[in-house]
Amino acid sequence: MPELPEVEVIRRELEPLLTGKEFAVPHLHMPSTIEYPSPEEFTAALRGRRVEILNRRGKYLLIILNRGVLSIHLRMTGNLFYADEGKAREERFLRVSLPFADGSALHFSDMRRFGRLWLTETGPELQELVLKRVGPDILNDLGCEDFLALLEKRAGSRLKALLLDQGFAAGMGNIYTDECLFRSGIDPNRRVGELKDGEAEKLYRAIHEVLAEGIEYGGTTFRDYRNSSGALGDFQSRLAVYGRKDGLCRCGSPIEKIRVAGRGTYYCPRCQQ
Ligand SMILES: [Zn+2]
């Protein structure tokens, strides 16, 4: 499932390709991919609008237009790719093609069909329909002091569950959460209120380091993730614990898989106290 680094890789790749382009008439191969407005309204309204910049909040890609915002969430298996309009026809799970006036196009494919697009007109509409339950972006919107202040209000929460909670801070998923807790040496079962002096700051630094490395290595590909030119990510080769059940930690101890907050969680019982 794409997390913050994968969406950020796509954002950085697409921004120079899309900026200034004007949308032509969309092709909705699976109309239910459009969450808002109706597929008919979406098709009529997008045509003629121009891309200004690409933003991101957590796992949401926000394409800012000269009027309104096109929001995209990849969910489990969504992929965005940029190719000439005809080139994507063989793509197996093509759900939406958004051609531009110059003949190029942004395509959305999605095997599991959970990914969604929204076209909203105003800031309040974007907030109400798309970002209502989405907290500040954990990489761009939170300084260390802000992060510590948010943690203070959630003393009873387990760290693993809290970091996965998009309303607390947006962007982390299962893979990067396990990696960040390993990097900061914190047992995923612990609660916020049990952190000792300096551990919350260490966690904040680990989150920023791990997410930055994930972006630098083009994201993590286990099965489905591709960037917008179809390339695989490379961060999976650098994961310290995630997906490495029965593998050895760099300390020599076996990595264990447990369930925390209902999610499969990888950790090293020796390095994470
Ligand atoms: Zn270890």
**Which residue type, as a one-letter code, is found at position 213?**
E
151 CA to middle of ligand 1, Å?
A: 26
Tokens of 63: 């394409």
3 labelled catalytic: yes
Cα-to-centroid distance, 156 and ligand 1 (Å): 26
Q: What pLDDT does residue 269 have?
A: 96
Options 11, 56, 59, 158, the catalytic residue: 59
pLDDT tens, residue by residue, 186-240: 999 999 999 999 999 999 999 999 999 999 999 998 877 888 888 899 899 899 9
**137-150 per-position pLDDT tens digit:** 999 999 999 999 99
Q: Is the pLDDT of residue 120 over 80?
A: yes
The pLDDT of 105-132, averaged and rounded, is 97
Taking the C-alpha atoms of residue 205 and residue 160, their distance in angstroms, rounded to an integer, is: 16
Active site residue 263: yes
CA dist 62 and 213 (Å) reads: 22
Q: Which pTM was predicted?
A: 0.96
Q: Is 269 a catalytic residue?
A: no
- Ligand 1 centre to CA of 202 (Å) is 17
Q: Residue 90 has what pLDDT?
A: 74
What is the token pair recorded at 48?
């003629």
- Cα distances (Å, whole numbers) of residue 179 to 36, 131, 182, 188, 197: 35, 26, 5, 10, 21
59 tagged catalytic: yes
Ligand 1 centroid from CA 194, angstroms? 21
Q: Is the pLDDT confidence value at 246 over 80?
A: no
**pLDDT confidence of residue 38:** 98
pLDDT tens by residue, 32-71: 999 999 999 999 999 999 999 999 999 999 999 999 999 9
* Ligand 1 centroid – CA 201 distance (Å): 21
Catalytic residue, candidates 3, 6, 13, 179: 3
